[in-house]
């Protein structure tokens, strides 16, 4: 696929890595914020958007779920990136030269053991790719960056230590956003369905709404709640299930769900990532 794909962050960010892995022929379009990345697709400046939604270590990405309902876009795919962190230095630098390492505060916390073992002082930067760019600009062998290998490739830095993260399974999930389109047809390929709903204000509404998925044997991969419109009582749920809305079991479960909800909106139907299989 050709065209442009937007993402939040700078060139060399893990979001950029996700774009390259899933759509190597598309032109990456960095955006300062998640809202900017979504707006780029909505305005037609980008064909797709690669949006980070959750991390296996730190949970869901703040604000993204608030942006999805009003975006007017649909989820058309998902991708998982294993977050490998590398110590990147200027050309000619050696590991023993490094005295400080710059990165986003989250990544600094994920490499605490390595930094302590090598006597390297953590230095907070705006983000991972931006830190790599800043280190490249300073040209100081005593200053390194913690970022992806892609960031090192883009900004001309060398890998001084590879995969230094403390957690062995740190992974970020991304969803691919596109302008509203018709639902894909049912196929033999495993599918996912993402949707938003609000339960009616009746006793045990959520319990009853979820019962349809259990009785129809539909696996619910995710169920999250969050407040909307600044109200403590207006709770919205984001859910994801295995299957296509036209699968008989999923169709029956959604029909039962609709009876107990005041609103129900399908956000996307898309192929399940191979990471899940």
Both tokens assigned to 248:
């008989």
Quick one: which of 227, 268, 208 has its CA closest to 49? Answer: 268
CA 104 centroid distance within chain: 16
Helix (H) or strand (E) holding 129: helix 128-138
From 7, 34, 172, 195, the catalytic residue: 172
- Contacts (Cβ under 8 Å, ≥6 apart) of 269: 75, 183, 184, 191, 192, 193, 194, 244, 245
Of 7, 23, 174, 195, the active-site residue reads 174
End-to-end CA, the chain: 24
- Burial category of 237 from C-beta neighbours within 10 Å (exposed 0-12, middle 13-18, buried 19 and up): buried
- Is residue 237 part of the annotated active site? The answer reads no
Tokens 């769900």 correspond to: 257
In terms of C-beta density within 10 A (0-12 exposed, 13-18 middle, 19 or more buried), how is residue 173 classed?
Answer: buried
Strand pairing class (48-55; 4-8): parallel
Question: Is residue 174 annotated as a catalytic residue, yes or no?
Answer: yes
Residue 18: partners with Cβ closer than 8 Å, 6 or more residues away: 7, 50, 52, 79, 81, 172, 174
Active site residues: 172, 174
């Amino acid at each position: 696929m050709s065209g442009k794909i937007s993402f939040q962050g700078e060139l060399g960010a893990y979001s950029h890595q996700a774009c390259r892995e899933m759509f190597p022929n598309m032109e990456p379009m960095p955006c300062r914020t998640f809202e900017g990345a979504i707006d780029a697709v909505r305005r037609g400046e980008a064909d797709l958007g690669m949006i980070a939604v959750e991390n296996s270590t730190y949970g869901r990405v703040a604000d993204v779920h608030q942006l999805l309902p009003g975006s007017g876009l649909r989820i058309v795919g998902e991708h998982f990136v294993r977050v490998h962190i590398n110590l990147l230095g200027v050309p000619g630098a050696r590991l023993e030269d490094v005295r400080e390492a710059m990165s986003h505060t989250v990544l600094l916390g994920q490499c605490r053991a390595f930094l302590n073992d090598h006597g390297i002082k953590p230095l907070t930067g705006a983000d991972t790719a931006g830190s790599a760019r800043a280190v490249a600009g300073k040209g100081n062998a005593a200053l390194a960056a913690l970022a992806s290998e892609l960031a090192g490739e883009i900004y001309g830095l060398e890998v001084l230590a590879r995969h230094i993260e403390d957690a062995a399974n740190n992974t970020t999930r991304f969803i691919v956003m596109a302008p509203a389109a018709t639902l894909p047809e049912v196929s033999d390929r495993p599918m996912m369905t993402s949707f938003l709903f609000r339960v009616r204000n009746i006793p045990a509404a959520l319990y009853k709404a979820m019962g349809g998925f259990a009785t129809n044997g539909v696996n619910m991969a995710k169920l999250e709640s969050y407040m909307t419109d600044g109200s403590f009582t207006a709770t919205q749920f984001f859910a994801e299930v295995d299957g296509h809305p036209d699968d008989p079991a999923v169709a029956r479960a959604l029909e039962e769900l609709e009876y107990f909800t005041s609103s129900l909106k399908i956000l996307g139907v898309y192929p399940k990532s191979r990471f899940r299989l």
